[in-house]
Amino acid sequence: MQSFAVILEQPKELGLRAIELTAPADDDVVVDVRYSGISTGTERLLWTGRMPAFPGMGYPLVPGYEATGQIVDAGSNARHRIGEHVFVPGANCYGAVRGLFGASSSRLVTRQARAVSVDHTLGDRAVLLALAATAHHALAARGAALPDLIVGHGIVGRLLARIAIALGGLPPTVWEREPSRADGAVGYAVVQPSDDNRRDYTSIYDASGSAGILDDLIGRIVKGGEIVLAGFYETRVDFDFVPAFLREVRLRVAAEWLPEDLTSVNRLVQDGKLSLDGLISHAMDARDAKHAYAAAFEDPSCLKMVLDWRTCA
């Protein structure tokens, strides 16, 4: 069984080619992928070769962790799921080619437990469930306070704001320096940091990925407040100790999402409490993957790039 997949042969060398898939085991499903998303965080680091040491890291690899499609075949224990529309957070079914994270493919094989049923009417928006789960994981940690300030109005910042409101929080303030990303707020305000004079925030979530932002955030928080690092930082994160000491600042790092986060955001979507509308800004045919990745990484107006695999079936 073959698939067409995006192969990152080495940093900055990417193409689309046919690849042999591992045969499905008894508990596996075969998914024909319709859409997959490009991550401007982790996949950019893989593309540039700046990805920190990570389990399973190496080249060549199939990138991506956001795929949605339909189950078309399955092993003996999963045949009842044939026909389901699902979200899959990647796969490792490409033989000698690594699946890190293995979603950018026209067809994939994965354990049925990793294929999460979704409403087929979501279409390409279903690829956003992984990032929604990432945001939910940051917000739903034990003892976590919902944000009154979110830094960054990229895709994760927008999902943090939408999910916080869906969970009953007050509309947060969102900082964004890039004018092209100021639009698209749903029920909350987006401001330039320089236009915000508040210095009494209690819960700040940083989704900017900027390693040098902590000193500014520490100066904006109340004593005993919490700063959550909800982005992905490729360089060392540090801060001036004395201001943090005087405010007794608490720092929390939000790690990757868990299956229960994906279940929770999928339910929020199904119940109409969380909208994924207006978050995909660009879409391209998967056969033009090289240009799609360039646009995703280089065009500041590209909030989310989706690859359309339907022509590769």
pLDDT band at 56 (very low <50, low <70, confident <90, very high): low
Q: Is residue 246 part of a domain?
A: yes
**239 preceded by a cis bond (ω within 30 of 0):** no
Q: Could you tell me if 91 and 193 lie in one domain?
A: no
- Listed in sequence order, the residues at least 6 apart from 195 whose beta carbon sits closer than 8 Å to its beta carbon are none
| pLDDT score, position 34 | 98
Q: How many structural domains does the chain have? A: 2
Q: What is the mean pLDDT of residues 281-299?
A: 93
Q: What is the mean pLDDT of residues 181-196?
A: 95
Q: Is residue 273 part of a domain?
A: no
Q: Could you tell me if 170 and 83 lie in one domain?
A: no
**Closest CA relative to residue 308, chosen from 294, 279, 287, 278:** 287
Rounded Cα–Cα distance for residues 37 and 304 (Å): 7
Q: Could you tell me if 148 and 248 lie in one domain?
A: yes
Q: Could you tell me if 224 and 183 lie in one domain?
A: yes
Q: Could you tell me if 83 and 154 lie in one domain?
A: no
Range in 52-56, 74-78, 197-201 with the lowest mean pLDDT: 52-56
CB 6, CB 65: distance < 8 Å: no
Q: Is residue 122 part of a domain?
A: no
Q: How confident is the model over 156-183, as pLDDT tens digits?
A: 999 999 999 999 999 999 999 999 899 9
- Listed in sequence order, the residues at least 6 apart from 259 whose beta carbon sits closer than 8 Å to its beta carbon are none
Over the chain, what is the mean pLDDT?
Answer: 94
Helix (H) / strand (E) element for 48: namely: helix 42-48
Domain boundary residue among 236, 253, 270?
253
Q: Could you tell me if 139 and 243 lie in one domain?
A: yes
65 has pLDDT over 90 = yes
Q: Is residue 272 part of a domain?
A: no
Neighbours of 209 (CB within 10 A): 20
| pLDDT score, position 290 | 92
Q: Could you tell me if 199 and 226 lie in one domain?
A: yes
| pLDDT score, position 106 | 97
CB 230, CB 205: distance < 8 Å: yes
Q: How confident is the model over 132-147, as pLDDT tens digits?
A: 999 999 999 999 999 9
Q: Could you tell me if 145 and 242 lie in one domain?
A: yes
Q: Could you tell me if 11 and 43 lie in one domain?
A: yes
86 has pLDDT over 70 = yes
CB 145, CB 203: distance < 8 Å: yes
| pLDDT score, position 43 | 85
Q: Do you know the residue count of the chain? A: 313
Output 232 or 21, whichever has higher pLDDT: 21
Cβ burial of 38 (10 Å; 0-12, 13-18, 19+) is buried
Range of the domain at 26: 2-117+281-312
Q: How confident is the model over 196-247, as pLDDT tens digits?
A: 999 999 999 999 989 899 999 999 999 999 999 998 887 889 999 999 999 9
CATH (domain of 82):
3.90.180.10
Q: What is the DSSP letter of 169?
A: P
Output 171 or 46, whichever has higher pLDDT: 171
- Listed in sequence order, the residues at least 6 apart from 204 whose beta carbon sits closer than 8 Å to its beta carbon are 147, 148, 149, 150, 151, 217, 220, 221, 225, 226, 227, 228
Q: Is residue 198 part of a domain?
A: yes
Q: What is the mean pLDDT of residues 248-277?
A: 96
109, 114, 118, 121: CA torsion to nearest 10: -30
CATH (domain of 216):
3.40.50.720
Question: In this prediction, what percent of the chain has a pLDDT beyond 90?
Answer: 82
Q: Could you tell me if 211 and 247 lie in one domain?
A: yes
Q: Is residue 292 part of a domain?
A: yes
CB 163, CB 205: distance < 8 Å: no
Sheet of strand 149-151: strand arrangement: 189-191, 173-175, 149-151, 201-206, 221-229, 250-253
55 has pLDDT over 70 = no
CB 7, CB 17: distance < 8 Å: yes
Q: What is the DSSP letter of 38?
A: E
What is the secondary structure of 272-290 as a DSSP string? TSS--TT---EEEEGGGHH
Q: Is residue 125 part of a domain?
A: no
Q: Could you tell me if 56 and 100 lie in one domain?
A: yes
Range in 90-104, 123-137, 209-223 with the lowest mean pLDDT: 90-104
| pLDDT score, position 58 | 80
100 has pLDDT over 80 = no
Q: Is residue 41 part of a domain?
A: yes
Q: Could you tell me if 240 and 292 lie in one domain?
A: no
Range in 59-68, 112-121, 153-162, 229-238 with the lowest mean pLDDT: 229-238
